[in-house]
Structure 1
Amino acid sequence: MIGVVIPAHNEEEYLGACLDALRAAATCPQLGGEVVHIVIVLDACSDHSQRIVMSHAMHTDLRWRLDWIAVEDRNVGAARAAGAALLLERGARWLAFTDADTRVSAAWLSTQLSLDADAVCGSVAVDDWSPHQQHVLALREHFARTYNDADGHHHIHGTNLGVRASAYVRAGGFAPLACSEDVALVDALEASGAHIVWSAAPRVNTSARRNAKARGGFGDTLLQMVEKM
């Protein structure tokens, strides 16, 4: 079984599109019918995120499952770890991680697996820069100029990350960090001798929203770029 973990803290604006995209990835013919189990970790949610997940869960089939757990950690590292722990208990051989404001491609999971690695660090793309209003053109051009969206990139994004279950356990899993939990995991994977592929092949589109959920995360990085313009 393939497991997917998505932490969510009040993500009603984006969660529906995220789950629509994950359904397409989970039913990709290239997976050969292997079951995909998606777990949404609702972290201190006070909006309609759970209702959205429940609505999508009504449309699962033999190829994919959708569950959720509720935590009150307000910590993305702890949320990712909780979802991973549940999927490991249920027998996942591969763990994939993304975020609620991200839409993965239909071949996202099958591409990760095809790379035959212990871990796959993917890149990100943004297809809607409109939240930044008057800075749209400048920010889009700056991102295109400075971000390496190609194989061998060495970016680390929790919103586009896959890891073999055995390698994840050997590295100690996600630490309960409010930010850079993905970097800490990849550092631990490297220290454990894991074979890591840095690839632009597993595609995701993430949001350029201004209300960044974590200091130091991708959204916060975009805001810092705008401040320098």
Structure 2
Amino acid sequence: MIGILIPVHNEEALLGACLKAALMAASHLGLLGEEVTVLVVLDSCSDGSAGIARGYPVQCLEAQARNVGQVRGIGARHLISQGARWISCTDADSRVAPDWLVAQLALGVDAVCGTVTVDTWGEAFGPAAQIRYHQGYEARDGHRHIHGANLGVSADAYVRAGGFEPLACHEDVQLVRDLESSGASIAWSHAPQVITSARLDARAQGGFGDYLKSLILAV
């Protein structure tokens, strides 16, 4: 079984599109009928996220952590306990490509770090900010970006590395560092595609949204 892990905190505006994309990837013919479980971990949600998630054929867990590392860890442990051999992580403000899972698994490694494509740039992003982003981002194989929105890992390698640490931010980066230390094989690939939002109200302080904000504020 393959698990798709999605942490959620007040994502009612974007969650539906995220889940539709994840379920499409889960039904790709290239998976040869292997079971895929989509797991939504609802973290301290006070909006309509829970109702939206329960309208789709996905599993839901609830947490009161306000800590993305802890939430990803809860989800990963749950999926592994159900027999998942591979865990693919994305975010609720992102949309994975239909062949996302197939592209990750085809690389034949312990873990996959994929790239992201920013969705429509908002009015706050002038040409200068967009140029700064593209100058610093390597959308190619061999990149060194780490995104919780596009990360895959085998269950065995995940356990050997110690799993997600309960960090409020950069839990994905820490996991990859721990995977490297444990000797895991890692593909830094542009093949698994994910579109992510350009929103500035980041759910995790210090995360991708705050990075985008810094590009606007840069002189």
Aligned to 2:114: 122
- Give the letter for the 2:210 counterpart: D
| Equivalent residue, structure 1, for 2:206 | 216
The DSSP-based 3-state class of the residue aligned with 2:55 is helix
**Are positions 1:179 and 2:135 aligned together?**
no
Checking the alignment, whether the CA contact within 8 Å between 2:72 and 2:164 is kept in structure 1 is: yes
Which residues of structure 2 form unaligned runs of 5+? none
Tell me which of 105, 125, 128 is aligned to 1:138: 128
What secondary structure is seen at the aligned counterpart in 1 of 2:74?
Answer: helix
Deviations 1:155-184 (A, max 9, x none): 111110000100000000000000010011
Per the alignment, residue 101 of structure 1 pairs with: 93
**1:63 — aligned with what?**
none
Give the whole-Å Cα distance in 2 for the aligned partners of 1:175 and 1:99.
Answer: 17
Give the superposed CA RMSD: 0.9
Deviation at 1:139, TM superposition (A): 2.3
Q: CA deviation at 1:146?
A: 1.7
TM-superposed deviation, 1:127: 2.4
| Aligned residues with identical type, % of pairs | 53
Other-structure match for 1:83: 75
**Map 1:50-69 → 2, pairs under 5 A:** 50-57=50-57, 66-69=58-61
SS, match of residue 191 in structure 2: coil
Alignment check: 8 A CA contact 2:41 2:71 kept: yes
Aligned residues: 219
Q: Who is 2:33 aligned against?
A: 33
Matched, 1:71 2:80: no
1:142 is displaced (CA, Å) by: 2.1
Letter in 2 for 1:36: V
* TM-score (norm. length: structure 1): 0.94
Give how far 1:134 is off. Answer: 4.5
For structure 1, the 5+ residue unaligned runs are 58-65
Q: Runs ≥4 in structure 1, deviation > 4 angstroms? A: none
Distance 2:43 2:124 in 1: 33
Counterparts in 2 of 1:202 and 1:90: CA distance versus 1, 3 Å: same
Query: Normalising to structure 2: TM-score of the pair?
Result: 0.98
